[in-house]
Amino acid sequence: MADKKIIAVVGATGAQGSGLVKAILADPSGGFSARAITRDPNSEKARELARLGAEVVAGDVDDQASLTKAFAGAYGAYCVTFFWAHFSPEKELAEATAMARAAKAAGVKHVIWSTLEDSRKWISLEDNRMPTLQGKYKVPHFDSKGDADQVFTALGVPTTFLLTSFYWENFIYFGMGPKKGPDGVLGITLPLGDQKLPGMASDDIGACAYGVFKNGGAFIGKRVGIAGEHLTGAQMAAGFSKALGQPVRYNEVAPEVYRSFGFPGADDLGNMFQFNRDFSGDFCAARNLDVSRKLNPALKSFDTWLSENKSRIPLQ
Ligand SMILES: NC(=O)c1ccc[n+]([C@@H]2O[C@H](COP(=O)([O-])OP(=O)(O)OC[C@H]3O[C@@H](n4cnc5c(N)ncnc54)[C@H](OP(=O)(O)O)[C@@H]3O)[C@@H](O)[C@H]2O)c1
């Protein structure tokens, strides 16, 4: 244990971080140990990680000093932010900045920063194809992560920029699952046209990140995109139909219709899907499936994910 390289994991009780902690613990001869960072080491989820063999330490991305302490002595750190807890790009940038500064102060050798594209490099703020949100963003939860890339770089933190993908768990937890239409037939509603969306099991993000750490310094300074599959709305609907044993259709809507749905963040997600639809080629190319599978040979397909999770998908 003592000679293992410690990976300090922010968000360890959440979707991305728990996948990494579990990947490290599942490979006891891999040379790494997991340090799970949580705001509450006594929570049920934190205690479960301790039972599985992780070191559990307190840390809060709003408190840089707590992060520096939590990163001390670690070889690596997995850094992720929590946009949907507050919907504020400025706060997300502050969270990322606190992690970058803490990693620098603690002398962490390899940081993986869980990022996304700055959409404004494709659609300028003056471009009226989609509304500008919160004053200076097109896709706020993407753009602030893109802004944060520059903070890790400027501070000279040895960083891998991990471009993640749409979690298929959004069909379970984010209200995006199949819903019955007026004719009683289930449908998934997305503004994707006929374009492909890179998606993945959220656990596989952490498993791919573990693959990045296992590659030593090879990915430091690089951007690495990951996905389980690139699928159109129609292909996802076909997967649902097969898994659920009943027809599920793809309801294609326009991005402006999606933005008007009214749930918190609908405007951000409407812009996100439109960005993904209009630049699907670039978005998929940045998330190479072979690279993802090399990092994580157990990478799940959508069909595999569905067969494991279909009973958890709320059908309305
Ligand atoms: N949903 C998607 O499809 C998708 C796709 C790509 C990227 N993302 C991005 O993923 C990010 C969220 O990651 P996730 O899904 O892994 O999060 P998550 O499942 O919501 O988990 C977040 C975990 O982080 C911890 N946390 C929350 N606030 C914290 C704070 N202030 N300090 C320290 N820890 C804190 C919580 O643990 P404790 O309570 O134990 O502290 C929680 O368990 C978002 O920025 C989102 O944009 C999402």
Q: Is 33 in the pocket of ligand 1 (CB under 6 A)?
A: no
Q: Tell me which residue has tokens 């379970």.
A: 172
Nearest protein Cα to ligand 1, atom 33: 60
Q: Is 40 in the pocket of ligand 1 (CB under 6 A)?
A: yes
Q: Is 151 in the pocket of ligand 1 (CB under 6 A)?
A: no
The pair of structure tokens assigned to 157 is 């933190």
pLDDT in tens, 168-197: 999 999 989 999 999 999 999 999 999 999
50 DSSP 8-state letter = H
- Testing ligand 1's pocket by substitution, the residue of 49, 60, 82 carrying the most ligand atoms inside 8 A of its CB is 82
Look at residue 2 and tell me whether its pLDDT is greater than 70.
no
Span 196-210, mean pLDDT? Answer: 98
Residue type, 146: G
246 DSSP 8-state letter = S
CA distances (Å), 33 to each of 30, 206, 217, 307, in order?
9, 14, 17, 31
pLDDT of amino acid 289: 98
Strand-pair partners of 35? 8, 55
Q: Is 167 in the pocket of ligand 1 (CB under 6 A)?
A: yes
Look at residue 253 and tell me whether its pLDDT is greater than 80.
yes
**Helix (H), strand (E), coil (C) string for 180-202:** ECCCCCEEEEECCCCCCEEEECH
190 CA distance to ligand 1 middle (Å): 23
Rounded Cα–Cα distance for residues 23 and 34 (Å)? 9
Q: Are 133 and 271 in contact (CB under 8 A)?
A: yes
Span 23-29, mean pLDDT? Answer: 98
CA 10 to chain centre: 13
Rounded Cα–Cα distance for residues 265 and 289 (Å)? 29
pLDDT of amino acid 163: 98
174 CA distance to ligand 1 middle (Å): 13
pLDDT of amino acid 300: 98
178: how many CB neighbours lie within 10 A of its CB? Answer: 25
Strand-pair partners of 33? 6
Indicate yes or no: pTM above 0.85.
Answer: yes
pLDDT of amino acid 316: 72
Containing 143, the helix (H) or strand (E) segment is: helix 140-154
Rounded Cα–Cα distance for residues 96 and 80 (Å)? 7
Rounded Cα–Cα distance for residues 166 and 273 (Å)? 10
CA 113 to chain centre: 10
228 CA distance to ligand 1 middle (Å): 20
122 CA distance to ligand 1 middle (Å): 26
CB-count exposure of residue 161 (10 Å: 0-12, 13-18, 19+): buried
Q: Tell me which residue has tokens 């294609």.
A: 252
* pLDDT-based confidence at residue 1 (cuts at 50, 70, 90): low
Rounded Cα–Cα distance for residues 316 and 308 (Å)? 20
Tell me the pLDDT of the chain averaged across its residues.
Answer: 97
As a whole-number percent, the residues of the chain with pLDDT over 90 amount to 98
pLDDT in tens, 104-140: 999 999 999 999 999 999 999 999 999 999 999 999 9
Rounded Cα–Cα distance for residues 90 and 84 (Å)? 13
Name the strands in the sheet holding 166-167, side by side, starting at the edge strand that comes first in the sequence.
Answer: 166-167, 197-200, 229-231
Torsion region of 265: left, alpha or beta (phi above 0 gives left; psi -120 to 50 gives alpha): left
CA distances (Å), 72 to each of 69, 112, 171, 173, 238, in order?
5, 16, 37, 34, 48
